[in-house]
Chain A
Amino acid sequence: MERLGELWRRLLFLFQGSRFNREMEEEIRFHLESKTERIRESGISADEARYAARRRFGNAAALKEKTREAWGWSGLDRLAQDVKFAVRSLSRNPAFTLIVVLTLAFGIGVNTAIFSAVNALLLNPYPFPEADRIVSVDARHISGKNGATGYQDFLDWQRQNTVFESMAITPWTGEYTLTGQGEPQRIAGGGTTADFLRVLGIHPVLGRFFTTEEDQPSAPRVAVLTYESWRKRFNADPGVLGRAMTLDGTQLTIVGVLPPGFVFPGIEACGFFTPLHGPSTLGRTQHQYGVVARLKSGISLEQAQSEMSTIARRLEQQYPATNTGWGVKVQPLRDALAEWARTPVMFLFSTVGFVLLLACVNVSGLMLARASARGKEIAIRSSLGAGRGRIVRQILTETVLLSATGGAAGILLALWLMDVLRKVAPQQYALDAGLHLSPAVLLFTLLVSLLTGIVSGFVPAWNASGAEPSSTLKNDGNAWSRSRSRNRLMSSLVAGEVALSVILLAGAGLLAKSFILAMHVDTGIRADRLLTFRLALPQAKYSSKQQAAAFYRDLMDRLRSSPGVDAAAAVSTLPMTGGMQSGAFEVEGRPKAADWVDTSVQYSRSTPGYFHAAGIPILYGRDFDAQDTDSSLPVGIVNDTLARRFFPGQDPIGQRYKDAYDGKWRTIVGVAGSVKSQQPMNPPVPGLFCPHAQSPSNWMWITLRSRGDEAELTGMARAAVQGLDPDLPLLKIRTMREVVSDSLSGTRLLMQFLAGFAVFALLLDAIGIYGIVDYSVRQRKHEMGIRVALGASYRNVIGLVLRKGALPAAVGVLLGLPVALAASGMLRALLYGISPRDLTVFAGVPVVLLIVALGASFLPARRAAKVDPIVALRCE
């Protein structure tokens, strides 16, 4: 209890201001005067009495200090003093302050941005009640392929399990056209099952979510709005329940509204949710969904895993044709979502650590250089009684102040970076939701700024406080030897900087080379002058296959006859966009494979002329043509990867296979070249095509090969499409080159980050080397003068100075290369086409650094060589 009172009184003291000092003065004055009078009473003179009183009193100044200190705030006092002094000192050198703040802002800013990604991915708890009970349940084949789940399996899991309290399919997002609310708009929506909200533990803020009955394909269509779309499109009208929304020509009744701030990875753009409507038409072999579930209380992950594995085995026995080799993996939702992004994000996180360290070393060097200019001031302070600790504290206060400012500026940089990341990061990384300045991220920034300040200031503070005041004040030759040691320290710091830069440059070089190689890899199609876009015929309007077939046939006719178009075709799967539709490949006359996954191939449909339009060679046989119709012989074309896998050494033409989608036996009439379906660096998969006329689909990609610039065809294409159907928008219009580039967006992102860091590193190196060479030249003006007087040529002097800059750079390179070579193994997973020890890159890095070192040393070198020997010799 007394401690509280004590604390309270101590706190009050802080608000007294100068009153304490004044009162103390008065009290002591009273004491001394009283004592003086008293002594005078015994007849001593006034002056002597005063003197005696003082002596009896003791050292008034020291006692005043001690009295103040009793209150325990002297530490704070000293800090305030240090800060004031630091601010004054820094504002006298604006150039220095600016450079340091910018350097630290960059270093801290990138760390903040990447940390927010790490936080979003790995640390931040999901905003759902008991989120650790939410798991991802995925089908996993023993060969490691394909983690998506089939709808029938999902239903069986749901029926048979006893470990989950609820289970649902993760929203399957698509785009629809909303009409009847003014202008037709595109709106994204998610298809999921009734228990989705139950799994997450969320309740709608209005109305309800849909029921299992509404999941059935025959049920009336319903929709649940997200909070934002309720606000935006329906003006937050509470009477929205029961109203209808028209999407793609179908009416849906609104039955509920979700709470604000509802997030789930992958659904940020969605405006509503609707039941998947039990796509029971999909066979057991079609795997395309993700599944989430909530563990029952008391059930552990291991228990759930073992039960699901048992269920999977049961299904294997029940459906040997389709489920052999398929197991189940149960893992926390977070782990499942982080799968894609984990490697690149963690790689970036470790890299930015290096960047910050580099910034610290650079700032240390700059502070050291500055300290030499302040040598006199520090000497005076220490001769006046400032202990070593006090001087160290002073310098650390400066660096912490600098890094706090840098941190604040860095947050601005981080905000921009996070915005960029949100737009540019690949979809699968599921980063968008979490990238913002949460308290955790701000705390991180604060800690990092503090640490940066201390680390940056440590070396200069130690060095400055070790100085002997007398020799500095005397300004004699001893100063020379001390500055030699400081010089060596600065050179070591620069060498350290260069070593760190080697690592960053090597990383950037490897990623860049890998990216360029990936960009130029043969994708199997000719990407130049090829325009692509997607069409999604609304099912309400085009409900029959004949309508779809007729539409695309007419569209192709129109496009082909348009000016500027060399070739036009449609295909269901565009290369480099993923979106595979796989199915089993069963050859007539061969025993059915026990494990259909081994024989799964990619199914596509194309219109006649696709291969020609895309620039894919027909190796044997023929393409589809107008004779291949609904009523003629069912045919198919395979790619050469499939031919090599399933018909080694044989001629596939004439053989028949069973179409996994419509069950027809098709005759192979041609073999085409293979294309990459996902990323240029992934090998092509076996695939086949059937004519669109024989197996129509509403969703197709259109490819147009243009005579001139492909982008110019956009307007014409739109006119052709809308001539057939004015309500049909063109989706995802891109040139093929853009498609290839987009498929590499993940790699490109990494490369751009590393490139930015490498540039930063080179800049800092240049500053550092310039700094020490300049410093050295100034110190050695005398010596330079002598050399020139004794006959040293211009080139001699330049060479001398350049060596001064090149030496620490060389040492740095020698130190950094082995570390970089060792660390580059980490990149193996992210590189394509080159080894992590690539010779060109590792040979190039030292060359680049050497050039930078020489370039940075050049200006001071010139200055040194131009020194007038007389002037140099005169000033002592």
Chain B
Amino acid sequence: MGKTEIPPGTLYMLILRSLDRNGPMHGYGIAQHIQQMSESVLQVEEGSLYPALQRMLIKGWVKAEWGLSENNRRARFYKLTPAGRKQVTAEVAEFTRVIEAITRVIQPA
């Protein structure tokens, strides 16, 4: 089974939603979470998370803090901000709307 790439433009939404669900996580944790929740359908190129996270930092959707991981190693944790929460709600709503519309179009007659 080849890797299914995530639909373009949805990476941010996926990351934000993961943070929303799970609270603060480090980059690796987010990658794990996406893979698990999608039941391994979505395989993200893990490195690409980091530029995305940086952009979200710039936009103020997440905040970053250094902390200790599960096995006591130093890792940077990302946390959703109120602005970020607002953003993910909006993006999910928009995405759902689009998907419903597509579904309506492709439904068998």
A interface residue numbers (CB < 8 A to B) = 2, 5-6, 9-10, 23-24, 26-28, 30-31, 33-35, 56-60, 63, 66-67, 69-72
Answer whether residue B105 sits at the interface, using C-beta atoms and an 8 A cutoff: no
| Complex-state Cα separation, A30 to B76, whole angstroms | 9
B76 near A27 with CB under 8 A, answer: yes
A34 near B28 with CB under 8 A, answer: yes
Q: Closest residue of chain A to B57, judged by CB?
A: A9
Chain A binder among B5-13, B15-23, B45-53, B92-100: B45-53
Answer whether residue B75 sits at the interface, using C-beta atoms and an 8 A cutoff: yes
| Contact A9 to B60, CB < 8 A, known contacts A23-B76, A27-B76, A31-B28 | yes
A2 near B47 with CB under 8 A, answer: no
User: Which residues 1-41 in B have Cβ within 8 Å of A in the complex?
Assistant: 26-28, 31
A70 near B51 with CB under 8 A, answer: yes
A28 near B59 with CB under 8 A, answer: no
User: B31 contacts which chain A residues (CB < 8 A)?
Assistant: 31
A30 near B28 with CB under 8 A, answer: yes
| Complex-state Cα separation, A51 to B7, whole angstroms | 27
Shortest distance from the beta carbon of A706 to any chain B beta carbon, whole Å? 87
User: Which residues 52-98 in B have Cβ within 8 Å of A in the complex?
Assistant: 54-55, 57-60, 66, 69, 73-76, 83
A2 near B83 with CB under 8 A, answer: yes
What would 30 A/B residue contacts be, using CB atoms closer than 8 Å?
A9-B57, A9-B58, A9-B60, A23-B66, A26-B74, A27-B75, A27-B76, A28-B47, A28-B50, A30-B26, A30-B27, A30-B28, A30-B73, A30-B74, A30-B75, A31-B26, A31-B46, A56-B45, A56-B46, A57-B45, A57-B47, A58-B45, A58-B48, A59-B47, A60-B47, A63-B48, A67-B51, A67-B54, A70-B54, A71-B54
User: A6 contacts which chain B residues (CB < 8 A)?
Assistant: 58-60
User: B83 contacts which chain A residues (CB < 8 A)?
Assistant: 2
Shortest distance from the beta carbon of B7 to any chain A beta carbon, whole Å? 18
Known pairs A6-B59, A31-B28, A57-B47 / 19 extra A-B pairs, C-beta < 8 Å? A9-B60, A23-B66, A24-B50, A26-B76, A27-B50, A27-B76, A30-B69, A33-B73, A34-B28, A35-B46, A56-B46, A57-B45, A58-B47, A60-B47, A63-B50, A69-B51, A70-B51, A70-B54, A70-B58
| Complex-state Cα separation, A142 to B67, whole angstroms | 93
Shortest distance from the beta carbon of B55 to any chain A beta carbon, whole Å? 5
Shortest distance from the beta carbon of A77 to any chain B beta carbon, whole Å? 15
User: A10 contacts which chain B residues (CB < 8 A)?
Assistant: 58
| Complex-state Cα separation, A59 to B31, whole angstroms | 16
| Complex-state Cα separation, A468 to B27, whole angstroms | 43
User: A67 contacts which chain B residues (CB < 8 A)?
Assistant: 50-51, 54
At the interface, is chain B mostly helix, strand, loop or mixed? helix
| Complex-state Cα separation, A833 to B46, whole angstroms | 86
User: B60 contacts which chain A residues (CB < 8 A)?
Assistant: 2, 5-6, 9
Q: Closest residue of chain B to A68, judged by CB?
A: B54
Q: Closest residue of chain B to A10, judged by CB?
A: B58
Q: Closest residue of chain B to A69, judged by CB?
A: B51
| Complex-state Cα separation, A300 to B60, whole angstroms | 58
B51 near A63 with CB under 8 A, answer: yes
Shortest distance from the beta carbon of B65 to any chain A beta carbon, whole Å? 11
User: A70 contacts which chain B residues (CB < 8 A)?
Assistant: 51, 54-55, 58
User: B50 contacts which chain A residues (CB < 8 A)?
Assistant: 24, 27-28, 63, 67
At the interface, is chain A mostly helix, strand, loop or mixed? helix
Shortest distance from the beta carbon of B44 to any chain A beta carbon, whole Å? 9
Q: Closest residue of chain B to A34, judged by CB?
A: B28
User: B58 contacts which chain A residues (CB < 8 A)?
Assistant: 6, 9-10, 70-72
Q: Closest residue of chain A to B73, judged by CB?
A: A30
Q: Which 7 pairs of residues, A with B, have the shortest CB-CB distance?
A: A58-B47, A63-B47, A70-B54, A66-B51, A57-B47, A31-B28, A34-B28
| Complex-state Cα separation, A24 to B83, whole angstroms | 24
Shortest distance from the beta carbon of A42 to any chain B beta carbon, whole Å? 14
Q: Closest residue of chain A to B26, judged by CB?
A: A30
Shortest distance from the beta carbon of B32 to any chain A beta carbon, whole Å? 8
| Complex-state Cα separation, A780 to B28, whole angstroms | 64
| Complex-state Cα separation, A785 to B48, whole angstroms | 62
| Complex-state Cα separation, A34 to B50, whole angstroms | 15
A35 near B28 with CB under 8 A, answer: yes
| Complex-state Cα separation, A66 to B45, whole angstroms | 14
| Complex-state Cα separation, A10 to B48, whole angstroms | 21
User: A59 contacts which chain B residues (CB < 8 A)?
Assistant: 47
| Complex-state Cα separation, A34 to B66, whole angstroms | 16
| Complex-state Cα separation, A9 to B28, whole angstroms | 24
User: B66 contacts which chain A residues (CB < 8 A)?
Assistant: 23
Shortest distance from the beta carbon of B76 to any chain A beta carbon, whole Å? 5
User: A24 contacts which chain B residues (CB < 8 A)?
Assistant: 50
User: A33 contacts which chain B residues (CB < 8 A)?
Assistant: 73
B27 near A27 with CB under 8 A, answer: yes
User: A31 contacts which chain B residues (CB < 8 A)?
Assistant: 26-28, 31, 46
Shortest distance from the beta carbon of B78 to any chain A beta carbon, whole Å? 10
| Complex-state Cα separation, A34 to B54, whole angstroms | 20
| Contact A57 to B51, CB < 8 A, known contacts A2-B60, A30-B75 | no
User: A71 contacts which chain B residues (CB < 8 A)?
Assistant: 54, 58
| Complex-state Cα separation, A636 to B74, whole angstroms | 112
Shortest distance from the beta carbon of B28 to any chain A beta carbon, whole Å? 4
Q: Closest residue of chain A to B60, judged by CB?
A: A5
Shortest distance from the beta carbon of B89 to any chain A beta carbon, whole Å? 16
| Complex-state Cα separation, A60 to B47, whole angstroms | 7
Shortest distance from the beta carbon of A795 to any chain B beta carbon, whole Å? 70
| Complex-state Cα separation, A26 to B64, whole angstroms | 14
| Complex-state Cα separation, A28 to B48, whole angstroms | 11
| Complex-state Cα separation, A69 to B26, whole angstroms | 21
| Complex-state Cα separation, A12 to B66, whole angstroms | 18
| Complex-state Cα separation, A30 to B72, whole angstroms | 11
| Complex-state Cα separation, A45 to B50, whole angstroms | 27
| Complex-state Cα separation, A5 to B54, whole angstroms | 15
Q: Closest residue of chain A to B48, judged by CB?
A: A58
Q: Closest residue of chain A to B46, judged by CB?
A: A57
Q: Closest residue of chain A to B31, judged by CB?
A: A31
Shortest distance from the beta carbon of B49 to any chain A beta carbon, whole Å? 9
User: B57 contacts which chain A residues (CB < 8 A)?
Assistant: 9
Shortest distance from the beta carbon of B18 to any chain A beta carbon, whole Å? 15
